[in-house]
Structure 1
Amino acid sequence: MGARVIQLADYRARRSALNPELAILDTTSELTDRFHFWSGASGQRYVHTVYDLIDCPEIPAANFLLVHREKSGRRTVLAIGHATHASGSLNLAEIRQRAARLGANEVHVHLLAPSAQQRRMIELDLRAGKIDGVSDDRIAATRH
């Protein structure tokens, strides 16, 4: 898997030059596509970075949601979990394998939990919020 480093300032400048009126909207759209908030049963909202399954980087110990996103933008959570290995590549391999089995095409990663105990509590809060497909019915979600 290759990586490409881009200079964000250069990218924005080129985009602004092409269509100055849409530059602000494009940046906002990029942010809303890049981040998503999911709420747990407690009402707490957790910000997740959104990655395409193929473009997902190695993941440190963190919370994740495996999501199927339709072309319409509708998202269905297929699984909720937390990565526990010290090796980011091992976490990524396990996430990709599970996502492929379930039919997920996005990985939503929450990186802000400071400890393993906190990651487990966030996972349980999200599961109790009934947003995952582990229960009998899959819950579809749109941006909120």
Structure 2
Amino acid sequence: MVARIIELAVYRAQRTLANREVAEKAALAKERASFHFWAGASGKRYVHHIYSLRECPALPAANYVLVRRHEDSRAEALAIGRVTHEADTLNLAEIRQRGAELAADEVHVHLLAPSNKISKLIEFDLRTAQAQTELNVASAGSNRLH
């Protein structure tokens, strides 16, 4: 009888450990999914944290990409910019207003620029890449018409 109780206790402990491991892996996968890398025209990649437009917290000065997420999970960049207010709440208000104007549903935020100068360079790099992509799409479309 005692051996059976010990077996049951060991089984429950193993099951609890397995459930915890599954939960930790799911949380890690979710956390990884909450980041997106945007590539600039220079080829540099910038990691951005993903927030829904409604759940985005107040932010310090940062670069951002306003995004519309399509049903096929594709992220479409609608606008690229940066906020520079000293008040975090003003930065959030600016992002939410611009996002609402564009019908964005996500904001991707890059917080790793060490200075205002680097933040400007990142914004330029990302915007240039977006413009190049738009030109390529437009040119491919016009080639099909001829």
> Could you say whether these structures have the same fold, taking a TM-score greater than 0.5 normalized by the shorter chain as the test?
yes
> Does 2:70 align with 1:70?
yes
Runs of 5+ in structure 1 lacking a partner? 1-15, 139-144
RMSD: 2.5
Secondary structure class of the residue paired with 2:124: helix
Partner in structure 1 of residue 57 of structure 2: 57
Q: Cα offset for 1:18?
A: 8.6
Give the percent of matched residue pairs that are identical in Structure 1 and Structure 2: 49
Structure 1's consecutive aligned runs of 4 or more residues displaced over 4 angstroms after TM superposition are 16-21, 135-138
Matched residues, number? 122
**How do residues 60-139 of structure 1 correspond to structure 2 at under 5 angstroms?**
60-130=60-130
Partner in structure 1 of residue 41 of structure 2: 41
> 1 or 2, which has the higher helix percentage?
2
Q: Give, in whole Å, the separation in 2 of the partners of 1:132 and 1:27.
A: 36
Deviation by residue 1:109-136 (Cα, 9 ceiling, x = unmatched): 0000011110000000011112799x57
TM-score, with structure 2 as normaliser? 0.73
Give 1 or 2 for the bigger CA radius of gyration. 2
Q: Give, in whole Å, the separation in 2 of the partners of 1:69 and 1:92.
A: 20
Runs of 5+ in structure 2 lacking a partner? 1-15, 139-146
